[in-house]
Amino acid sequence: MASLSGSSDTCYLLPPNSEDWEERGIPAFVYGPQELVVEGIQWPSSTPSTPGPLPPSRFDSALCAAWRQRMELGLFRYRLGELQTQTLPGAMGFVAQLNVERGVQRRRPQNIKSVRQAFDPEQFNFNKIRPGEVLFRLHQEPCGPGHPHHEDILVMINVSPLEWGHVLLVPEPACGLPQRLRPGALRAGLQAVLLSSHPGFRVGFNSLGGLASVNHLHLHGYYLNHRLPVEGAPSKPLDPEGRLHLLQAVPAPGFLFYTSKTGPDLEALVSRVCRATDYLTDHEIAHNLFVTRGAPPGEASPSAVLTGVRVILWARRSSFGIKEGDAFNVALCELAGHLPVKTSQDFSSLTEAAALALVQDCLLPPAQADEVQTALVDLMAQQET
């Protein structure tokens, strides 16, 4: 397993005071297409002859070193230690973690009433954070003449982390973009997963009404040293060309997009996913999205080898605010099978049946789910014509 501690890389560490930060600006993590690694990433295997995991990538080392320094400087709301973790007995393979501090100390969600709510500069947003919370700016090298310039993405700490290395990916915060997924943000999220050599680095997005707590465009990224059911779960194609699949045998059935290549294939995936999320947003349907390395669509794959990137999209019932009495709140990581639990009592008593009930309570009614599926299949067909 790649180490999460990171190596010292002073290029990405915080200057000694805020004046130096302002003078030097935000450091840039500049990467080229050759650093986007699709193949060769795997979980440790019990078979001695199987090659071991890759060492931390340059991206992992930079992120983890800077993140650890911010923790030492006290820039988080609490000091994250090793979280108590258990895999719940049952077919789903839920990974439950006790994270009391996040449940108590995270920022209260904003007053959200619509999936399409406009950005409000008076509310908390990422232009109001402390400079030291920013780790670096993700900057992709131009691929050559005629290729579009991709916007830079700020990588900043989540001050209420749910796991090690929990960061936010924020595109051009000064633009005041509402929490609606855009191609540039999704592209950066996919590339961040491919820049990491750790099989458990995942990226996700919560829409408004899907438990996004800040109405300012951002994605989440974090490390989790555990496999999740969505990585290798089976799926069935929803269209003849295999552009869209339905993920099955998971806590909540979701729409599966997949690629094992970069370049044009990755761009096509970005376009398909954003067409789907635009449809959901325009129709006031909340949604969550999860990006993870995983197996190709089709039959279940128990292999430790992760051959490509899976993007899972869930359409769901809108939920505004936090349900204080529940063991966990259902958003991107819970739908994928990772359950950050808020109290010791719930952690010790939680069962797979109880977890499934909470997850499935947030899903769309069957008739509406069928309507969404039909609409998304039609959208995928229109895109290819």
User: β-strand 201-206 against 286-294: which pairing, if any?
Assistant: antiparallel
Quickly tell me which residue has 């039609």 as its tokens: 378
User: β-strand 235-237 against 219-223: which pairing, if any?
Assistant: unpaired
Residues near 344 by Cβ (< 8 Å), separated by ≥ 6? 98, 100
118 within a domain of the structure (yes/no): no
User: In this structure, are residues 216 and 170 in contact, taking their beta carbons and an 8 Å threshold?
Assistant: yes
Q: What is the pLDDT, as a whole number, of residue 18?
A: 45
Encoded tokens for 335:
């739908």
106 within a domain of the structure (yes/no): no
31 within a domain of the structure (yes/no): no
12 within a domain of the structure (yes/no): no
Distance CA 195, CA 57 (A): 7
Q: What is the pLDDT, as a whole number, of residue 325?
A: 66
- Per 3-state DSSP, the chain is made up of helix, strand and coil in percentages (nearest 5) of 30, 20, 50
Distance CA 343, CA 103 (A): 8
Per-10-residue mean pLDDT, the chain, length 385: 42 48 73 94 70 82 97 94 95 95 72 94 94 95 66 94 96 95 97 97 98 96 96 94 94 96 96 98 98 93 84 94 78 97 96 96 96 97 73
113 within a domain of the structure (yes/no): no
The number of angstroms, rounded, from the C-alpha of 268 to the middle of its chain's C-alpha atoms is 19
Distance CA 244, CA 380 (A): 7
Q: What is the pLDDT, as a whole number, of residue 367?
A: 97
184 within a domain of the structure (yes/no): yes
216 is catalytic: no
Quick check: helix, strand or coil at residue 77? coil
Number of domains in the chain: 1
* Domain harbouring 185, CATH code: 3.30.428.70
Single out the catalytic residue among 216, 218, 220, 338: 218
User: In this structure, are residues 235 and 297 in contact, taking their beta carbons and an 8 Å threshold?
Assistant: yes
77 within a domain of the structure (yes/no): yes
Q: Domain range for residue 236?
A: 54-101+134-139+148-384
324 within a domain of the structure (yes/no): yes
pLDDT tens profile 294-306? 999 998 877 777 9
Q: How many CA atoms lie within 13 A of 263 on its CB side?
A: 4
Distance CA 121, CA 286 (A): 22
Q: What is the pLDDT, as a whole number, of residue 8?
A: 38
